[in-house]
Amino acid sequence: MSTNQTLLQAFQQASYPVAGHSKRTVQELKRALESVDANLAGDMYGTGHVIEDFQARMAAYLGKESAVFFPSGTMAQQIALRIWCDQKNSPKVAYHPLCHLEIHEKDGLKELHHIEAQLLADTDRLIRLDDVEQLDENVACLLLELPQREIGGQLPDYSELEAISAFCRERGIKLHMDGARLFEITPYYQKTAAEICSLFDSVYVSFYKGIGGIAGAILAGESEFTETSKVWKRRHGGDLISLYPYTISSDYYFEQRVGRMQQYYEGAKDLASRYNQCYGFRTIPAEPVSNMFHVHVNVSAEELEPQLISIYEATGIGLTGNLRPTSESSCYFEVSIGDRYTDLPKSKLMEAFQLLDAAMKQI
């Protein structure tokens, strides 16, 4: 069995995983479906109260004219960029080198839509205004991911975000937000989702990350934009006969959790502080700006794994199920805080970190 498989198995058996909300089981969908009238009519090819009402509420929450529910964010974002490219009659967009479209989608944007990407900034830092000022004049749209997941969930200062938005509007460049974790950044910015979205021409949000729904995404913007997105949704095969299991779970868990983002944010800061006081550990960012962060460790995954497994068995605390090597002598993992962290026995958590600190000093 590989290192990560062994660690994942131990993590899954731990009594108190620190991250996320709960196991993704059928019970999560059942709970959501039981919250509505069993005779509620499902949607059909994107029409019907169950989907239209949810889309309208999300449009209002995001401060946009209209919103469309998609089965996946991958589909929604490719379509958003295609619309903006068609509008400008230019197949050029710009985004970060570690953008989801660049590293996780098998070149879908390029192969399906023949859109070229200008990569901005270095892989280990955020896009800044001076990067944006160097954009090719034919770029139709700039995509910004908030927060930037692959570098620990970092965020630009809000003033810089405002400056980038103003620059793009002055130059006629559409600004699209990869807001997969938009709800999770509102505590740090001390802004509403609508205030943040007002800086962007279009926005995508996810309902299975911080919200914890089954699957699905919202794409929001002006009505002309979203109506065009419905055409592309049909072309992509995303206009399923019914999406109500996804919209109902999205709606249910949105209502359950969107008001807890401050709690998750405070939990992330607390946990990051514990890691940063542990020998050989550091977090990126040093203090989280959302409910997520990366933990970097000055030992190899092979050296760290048995220590973690021993701690899980001794305390029941599960810190991570996945170690990713950064070199022969270092590794990292990602943490996203949800409901579980509040209910952890803090005495057990303290014991786990005491054991981890002692173990690291012996490696």
Q: Which pair of structure tokens corresponds to residue 182?
A: 């938009």
Instruction: Give the model's pLDDT for residue 1.
Output: 46
Number of alpha helices (DSSP H) and beta strands (DSSP E) in the chain: 16, 13
Strand segments (E) across the chain: 16-17, 66-70, 92-95, 116-119, 141-145, 174-179, 202-206, 217-221, 281-284, 292-297, 317-318, 324-327, 330-336
Instruction: Tell how far CA 135 is from the center of its chain.
Output: 26
* C-alpha Rg value of the chain to the nearest Å: 21
What's the rounded Cα separation, in Å, for the pair 196 and 185?
10
Using the structure block, give the residue that is written with the tokens 């996780």. 104
pTM: 0.96
- 203 and 220 in contact (C-beta within 8 Å)? yes
DSSP for residue 47 = B
What's the rounded Cα separation, in Å, for the pair 217 and 243?
11
Task: Tell me the torsion sign for CA atoms 185, 189, 192, 194.
Answer: negative
Cβ-based burial of 184 (10 A; exposed 0-12, middle 13-18, buried ≥19) = buried
Instruction: Give the model's pLDDT for residue 170.
Output: 97
What's the rounded Cα separation, in Å, for the pair 70 and 51?
11
Q: Which residues contact 204 (CB under 8 A, 6 or more apart)?
A: 73, 76, 77, 80, 176, 177, 178, 179, 180, 217, 218, 219, 220
Instruction: Give the model's pLDDT for residue 3.
Output: 57
The series of mean pLDDT values per 10 residues for the chain, 363 residues long, is 79 96 93 95 96 98 98 98 98 98 98 98 97 95 98 98 98 98 98 98 97 98 98 97 97 98 98 98 98 98 97 98 97 98 96 98 94
Integer CA distances (angstroms), 338 to 32, 172, 186, 267, 271, in order: 18, 39, 15, 8, 12
Domains of the chain, start order: 3-22+260-362 (3.90.1150.10), 43-241 (3.40.640.10)
Integer CA distances (angstroms), 318 to 57, 222, 233, 309, in order: 37, 44, 40, 9
Q: Which residues contact 61 (CB under 8 A, 6 or more apart)?
A: 193, 194
SS3 134: coil
SS3 298: coil
Instruction: Give the model's pLDDT for residue 5.
Output: 85
- 228 and 235 in contact (C-beta within 8 Å)? no
Instruction: Give the model's pLDDT for residue 4.
Output: 76
The residue count of the chain comes to 363
What's the rounded Cα separation, in Å, for the pair 357 and 245?
44
Q: Which pair of structure tokens corresponds to residue 123?
A: 């892989």
Using the structure block, give the residue that is written with the tokens 């929450």. 61
Instruction: Give the model's pLDDT for residue 135.
Output: 96
Instruction: Tell how far CA 355 is from the center of its chain.
Output: 31
